[in-house]
Amino acid sequence: MVMIMRSIALIDCNNFYVSCERVFNPKLRGKPVVVLSNNDGCAVARSNEAKALGVPMGAPWFKLKDLAKQHGIIAYSSNYALYADMSNRVMSILRQFSPAQEVYSIDESFLDLTGFARRDLVAYGHKIRSTILQGTGLPVCVGIASTKTLAKLANHCAKKRPEFDGVCNFNVMNERQLNDILASIEVGEIWGVGRKLAPRLSALGFKTVLDLKNANPEILRQNFSVVMEKTIRELNGTVCIEMEEIAPPKKQIVSSRSFGSPVTDIEGLSESISLYTSRAAEKLRRQESYAGSIYVFIRTSPFREKDRQYSNGMTVPLPSPTNNTAKLVSVAMWALKKIYRPGYNYAKAGIMLSELVPAAGIQGDMFSNMQPNSKSERLMNAMDAINRKMGKESLKLASEGFRRPWAMKQERKSQCFTTRWDELLNVS
């Protein structure tokens, strides 16, 4: 019996947010660019040129203004609509290259290439790169290996080492070649290790990926967890983390934002809570789930030291699970009135839907007026269908507000080049 080696590919878009901005503004190529977080607060994405200037991840923008002025660093607000649409385009293209795909994040996707054993997978990886570049303008790197953990490291090499030209396949290397590469990579680069566990591993003598690969998985499991054991086994080629072609339903759905300016009245808080609950309810229906409880919270900013500080939240169990926006908003408004206190400058609010159950697993309550019914479901389905066809918030609850002076700041946002007719790119 011949064993076929697994071939898992990780496709990762380089500096995704920055790359999306550069697709529609080629003048940004070669220049230091950063993309900022909500309310234009911190740098959450940096071009290689910005990194070379010493811009750290998460640095507050107001602290970077002198450096930006000195070196011409260009900052953009996060353009979530653009990034989401570009991600969808990339993932759609990738589906052409394998029948088994796992969308891991907005800029990463796993493909199972095990059935492509007769192909030259390095050449196949270059074809993936060129197709995505031609179809979207986005640069990607491809890492191929026998497990997802090794594929992540292969992608790291494809990205960082010029000799691989954007495609690295660990499966074509002999054991000595692979170990030489793993010995040159710090242990903190391993998927699932990161900054938190790296110092602990380093203190125990595991400084490189090869060190951890040669570790005893049972002993490390006792010192850390079963996740560490799986990581070590994956580094040795044993598949412990399977492909997830269908993302599992979320166990909780959180929707929250920091305000663009402080909110002092309950009207502004009510609008924000209504909006966040509506967005969460839409996600709930998308995964065909119902919520059994809702948590509402509000808080002031701990960074505004001169302001009076207040933070509070409240969980409300629902008599019967629901995914109806109006019913969830009604409960959220009741909770907000209970925790609201006047005289504070509120900086953030949000909600969390918990105790999620699939539609087929609802336990009804004959005495509850929140019980699911076909009329409620038809209303929600119609609302979602209209918003999908006509655009987000084409149909919404009036309680979500219209002017929204509290909305987050996006003073440096680029156009929604791919999602709004009035913001399409003009070529002259």
For 199-233, b where at least 16 C-beta lie within 10 A, e where not — what string? eebeeeebbbbbbbbebebeebeeebeeebbbbbb
Pair 313, 295: CB distance under 8 Å: yes
Give pLDDT, residue 364. Answer: 61
> By the 8 A CB rule, do 405 and 267 touch?
no
Query: Please, are residues 41 and 78 in contact by the beta-carbon 8 Å criterion?
Result: no
End-to-end CA distance of the chain: 63
Question: 297 by DSSP, 3-state: which?
Answer: strand
**Backbone phi, psi, residue 82, to 5°:** -65, -45
Q: Residues 256-293: pLDDT tens digits?
A: 888 888 888 999 899 999 999 999 999 999 888 999 99
Tens digit of each residue's pLDDT, the chain (428 residues): 345 678 999 999 988 999 999 999 999 999 999 999 888 888 999 999 999 999 999 889 888 889 999 999 999 999 988 999 999 999 999 999 998 999 999 999 999 999 887 889 999 999 999 999 999 999 999 999 999 999 999 999 999 999 999 999 999 999 999 999 999 999 999 998 877 888 998 988 989 999 999 989 888 888 888 999 999 999 999 998 888 866 677 888 999 888 888 888 999 899 999 999 999 999 999 888 999 999 999 999 888 888 899 999 999 999 888 999 999 999 999 999 999 999 999 999 999 999 998 876 666 665 555 555 677 788 888 888 888 887 777 788 888 877 777 776 777 888 888 888 788 887 76
Q: How far apart are CA 172 and CA 160, in angstroms?
A: 19
Nearest one of 130, 215, 208, 143 to 173, comparing CA atoms: 143
CA dist 150 to 170, 176, 179, 192, 205, Å?
Answer: 8, 15, 12, 12, 21
* Strand-strand pairing, 167-169 and 140-145: parallel
How far is 9 from 147, CA to CA, in rounded Å?
Answer: 9
pLDDT value of residue 1: 39
Could you report the per-residue pLDDT of 163-197, keeping only the tens digit for each?
Answer: 999 999 999 999 999 999 999 999 999 998 877 88
Q: Which long-range contacts (CB under 8 A, 24 or more apart) does 93-99 make?
A: 93/131, 93/132, 93/135, 93/136, 94/11, 94/128, 94/132, 96/131, 97/124, 97/127, 97/128, 97/131, 98/9
pLDDT of residue 128: 96
